[in-house]
Amino acid sequence: MSLFATKALLIAHRGANLLAPENTLPAFALAYEMGAAWVECDVALTADRVPVVLHDRDLWRTARVHAKIDELNYDTLQSYNVGRYFATGAVQATVPKLEELLDLALQYGRGVNIEIKPALSDYAAATAEYSWKVIEPYLDRIPILVSSFELEALRWYSDYAPKVNLGYLLWHWQSNWEETAHSLNVSSIHCNEKFLTQKYLNLLTESKYSILAYTVNTVARAEELFANGVDGIFSDDPQLLSKVSL
C-alpha cells in the first residue's frame, strides 16, 4: 500500500481540532468527513500500559484536572471529560484508545500518522512497544506512519518493526538530520514550518525523504511550501488543501 497517494498531502493535526476537542474520536471522524486523507494523533501510555490518544502528560489543559496520564489507569482516565473546556463550549469527550482510532480509520479507509509521545522520555521504548502491539494487525489494511521526536522510540521501531514507515520530527534545524534519518531508516522528515527558510527547504527537498511541514494554517504558506517541493502539510483545517492552488 502506497504511503502517500498524492504529492500534495494534508494531514489533519489532532483531527478537526478547531471544531471538536483535539485527539478525540469526534475530531478524527469530522476530519475524515471533511475530506482529510490522513489524521495525526499523539499516543502515550496509561499506568496500566494502555496506548491512548493524548498530547499532554497532564490533563489540565483539556480537562482542567491536575492528573498525569502515566499515573492513571485507563478506566480512571475515562472518568475525565477532555471536552469540558473546548474553545466553543463544553462537549462530552473522552480519551480514546489507539485501537479505537485505528478502527475508525479502517471504517473510512484513510490514513493515520501516529506520533509516539511518551509522558516521559524514559517511557519512549515502552510506548513504542505497546503501541506496536496495537498497530500490527492494521498495518496492511490502512496507511500508517509512525513518527516521534524521541529517537529511542524510532530506534525501537527500526529494530523490531522494520516494515513500519517512520517519520523523524524536527522542532528546529539540526545539521546532522540526514545522518540520523539514515540510521533510523525513516521514510519522512516532519519539520516545524517556522524554521523552513528557502535555504533549509532546498537542503531537505533535495534528499530522498518525503518532507512534511507542521502546523500550516494559511493558504499562502501552504502554497509556498508546496511550490518549494514539500510533500505534505499538517493543518488544523482539514479543508485547507481544497483552497490551495497547486
Query: Where do the structural domains in the chain lie, given as residue ranges?
Result: 9-56+96-240
Q: Which pLDDT score, from 0 to 100, does residue 1 have?
A: 38
- pLDDT at res. 246: 86
**pTM: predicted TM-score of the whole model, two decimal places:** 0.96
**Segments of the chain scoring below 70 in pLDDT:** 1-3, 87-90
What per-residue confidence (pLDDT) applies to 152? 98
Architecture per CATH, 9-56+96-240? Alpha-Beta Barrel (3.20)
- All three cell numbers of 200: 533549509
Alpha helices in the chain (DSSP H): 25-33, 60-63, 74-77, 98-108, 124-135, 151-160, 177-184, 198-205, 219-227
100 burial via Cβ count (<10 Å: 0-12, 13-18, 19+): middle
Alpha carbons 166 and 153: distance in angstroms, whole number: 10
Residue 76: cis peptide before it, omega within 30 degrees of 0: no
Beta strand pairing call for 9-13 and 51-53: unpaired
At 86 the pLDDT is 72
Cα distance between residue 193 and residue 135, in whole Å: 28
Q: Which cell numbers hold the place of 169?
A: 520530527
Rounded CA-CA distance 58/129 in Å is: 22
Question: Is the distance from CB of 214 to CB of 201 less than 8 angstroms?
Answer: no
Gap between the Cα atoms of 155 and 229, Å rounded: 27
CA distance 99 to 161: 18
What SS3 class is residue 201?
helix
Look at residue 6 in the predicted model and tell me its pLDDT: 74
| pLDDT value at residue 9 | 95
Per-residue confidence (pLDDT) for residue 83, from 0 to 100: 86
